[in-house]
Amino acid sequence: MLPEISNVDSLFEDLHWLLLISAYLLADESDGETPLIPRGIMSYSSNLKDQVDLQASLQILCASQNQSSGHSNQSRDPSKVDPVVKLVSVIFRLADLEKIALNSGLSEILSPQVGRTIVWCLGHWTKSYLLPDENEYEHVSVTLISLFGVSSKGGEWTLGFLLEKVRSNLSGWSAESLIVEDTAMLLLSLVRTRHRAELAITFSSLWLLAEEHLSTAAVLRELPPDVLRYLTQALVLASSVADDEVTRKKYLDQLLQTLQSFLLGICHQPDFAKSCQKESVKSQIQTLLESFRGAALATNIRNVRTLFDYLLPVLKDCVVMLNVYQNCPEMVVLVLEFYADVVDSQICYLDENDVAKVHETCMALVQTYGKCNLGKVSIEALTEEEQLNDLLVLMKLLTNLLSRDVFDLNTGQLALSFAGYRFDSHLLAPVVQRVISLSAGHFNRLKAFL
């Protein structure tokens, strides 16, 4: 029995706000912009370069983790450490203390709010500071670039530390959906740039993540499906960074072969039409489809060939899923979102033969959707937008297909486009004028034709 700590709630509240203040002091929000170290921070650190000992700063940084192992502090002179590095090391120290507690099974004494703030703070900092592109700056701080820049010891140590933190969170906080979602987003930040991804794949902890959460048994565990989507996206991005095509394919095969075999094995069972309605089977399919959505979202010119070979069989089986789950709105929307993500991410990279295969599966999907929904009336207590969410996603899919058709028209593609327009015009006639967002999607698609 752990002794009660007085005023622990006040302590957690203080830590929460101090972390937020520190994070916003160190880095700005960067939605839609390239994340950069703020000019003021860069200038402040540059002005102190003559007073800073790089080795002492590196020791302080690494001591964020090493102190937990009892390493001595005597060799470090705090007065010669860059204050920016001091603040970052304190954040890392707090993250490491939480990791120790989680790995020791002490999550009940921790604060989920502070846990989420820590991982958000790490992700917010990572985007700007970890292995930054020096070409984005007019002037750089020698200290910050030496400690966190490309090919630096501090940058390598930091990325390894953060990967271990991701592993710890995904297992220790698995019951806290918001924390594990933010943790998966942190992992995405760690592989978003080429330099980070190239370094990340050298760490065994990244591949342990794949073994722990993307094996046949692991996908049935506690992580929410959308977290597995982000996790798969991050792992595919990291696997695709290798220069050698054979190496890239080997990594991607290791990630996706098991998932594909698992999903196709479920769908090809003789009694699938009956077993599919079991909650356990439905949950498995949701989890696997979200994982494949993550793979699709990680598409780039280096991995599109391998990914397409894995995704096409899943796309074909999704037509069957749409039919058997026609009365399960969440499954219908998930299948349509998977199609929309694949088309949006891959259509611009595919050659003419592969585009024809995509159009063929999309035609089958559109026809199945139309057959299942024409004349259907919903009596559920949902808003009009919620009732028509599947149509909104389907129109996004057709719009993405048309964006390719504008530059590469042929008879088969036009047939799909007009078939989609005919069926959804019939479906939309009674409601399109009453739902603004739906009308916008409908007419945007018409505009792509014209």
% of the chain with per-residue pLDDT over 70: 81
What confidence category does residue 370 fall into, taking pLDDT thresholds of 50, 70 and 90?
confident
Q: Is the pLDDT of residue 175 over 50?
A: yes
Query: What's the Rg (C-alpha) of the chain?
Result: 25
**Looking at residue 113, what is its pLDDT?**
96
Task: Please give the model's pTM, rounded to 2 decimal places.
Answer: 0.86
Q: Return d(Cα 143, Cα 57) in angstroms, integer.
A: 9
- Dihedral pair phi/psi, residue 242, rounded to 5°: -60, 140
What confidence category does residue 365 fall into, taking pLDDT thresholds of 50, 70 and 90?
very high
Q: Is the pLDDT of residue 436 over 70?
A: no
What tokens were used for 158? 């930091």
The alpha carbon torsion through 318, 324, 329, 332 (nearest 10 deg) reads 10
Please state, in angstroms and as integers, the Cα–Cα distance from residue 413 to each residue in 3, 283, 348, 386, 417, following that order.
69, 34, 15, 30, 6
Q: Is the pLDDT of residue 369 over 70?
A: yes
**Residues 371/426, Cβ–Cβ less than 8 Å:** no
The string of DSSP codes covering 186-222 is: HHHHHHSSHHHHHHHTT-HHHHHHHHHHSSTTGGGSS
Find the distance separating the first CA and the last CA of the chain, reported in whole Å: 71
Smallest CA-to-CA distance from 393 within 447, 294, 322 is with 322
Q: Read off the pLDDT of residues 280-324 as tens digits, 9 standing for 90 and up.
A: 899 889 999 999 999 999 999 999 999 999 999 999 999 999 999
Over residues 179-196, the mean pLDDT reads 95
- Residue that wins the pLDDT comparison between 244 and 383: 244
**Residues 170/213, Cβ–Cβ less than 8 Å:** yes
Q: Please provide the average confidence, as pLDDT, over all residues in the chain.
A: 84
**Residues 169/210, Cβ–Cβ less than 8 Å:** no
Q: Read off the pLDDT of residues 244-276 as tens digits, 9 standing for 90 and up.
A: 888 888 889 988 988 898 898 898 888 888 888
Smallest CA-to-CA distance from 57 within 31, 26, 79 is with 79
**Looking at residue 43, what is its pLDDT?**
95
**Looking at residue 133, what is its pLDDT?**
92
Q: Return d(Cα 293, Cα 233) in angstroms, integer.
A: 8
Between CA 220 and CA 304, with CA 160 as vertex, the angle to 5 degrees is 60
Between CA 342 and CA 349, with CA 344 as vertex, the angle to 5 degrees is 85
- Residue that wins the pLDDT comparison between 281 and 387: 281
Residue 38 DSSP one-character state: -
Other Cβ atoms closer than 10 A to 314? 23
Q: Return d(Cα 32, Cα 10) in angstroms, integer.
A: 36
**Looking at residue 16, what is its pLDDT?**
96
What confidence category does residue 31 fall into, taking pLDDT thresholds of 50, 70 and 90?
confident
- Residue that wins the pLDDT comparison between 388 and 83: 83
Longest dimension (CA), the chain: 78
Q: Read off the pLDDT of residues 40-61 as tens digits, 9 standing for 90 and up.
A: 999 999 999 899 999 999 999 9
Q: Is the pLDDT of residue 432 over 80?
A: no
Kindly report which listed range (66-70, 77-81, 148-152, 179-183) carries the lowest average pLDDT score. Answer: 66-70
**Looking at residue 440, what is its pLDDT?**
58
SS3 per-residue string spanning 402-426: HHHHCCCCCHHHHHHHHHHHHHHHH
**Looking at residue 71, what is its pLDDT?**
47
**Looking at residue 435, what is its pLDDT?**
45
% of the chain with per-residue pLDDT over 90: 53
Q: Is the pLDDT of residue 72 over 50?
A: no
Residue that is written with structure tokens 């593609």 in the block = 413
336 SS3 class: helix
What tokens were used for 88? 């970052």
Smallest CA-to-CA distance from 346 within 298, 387, 313 is with 298
Q: Is the pLDDT of residue 184 over 70?
A: yes
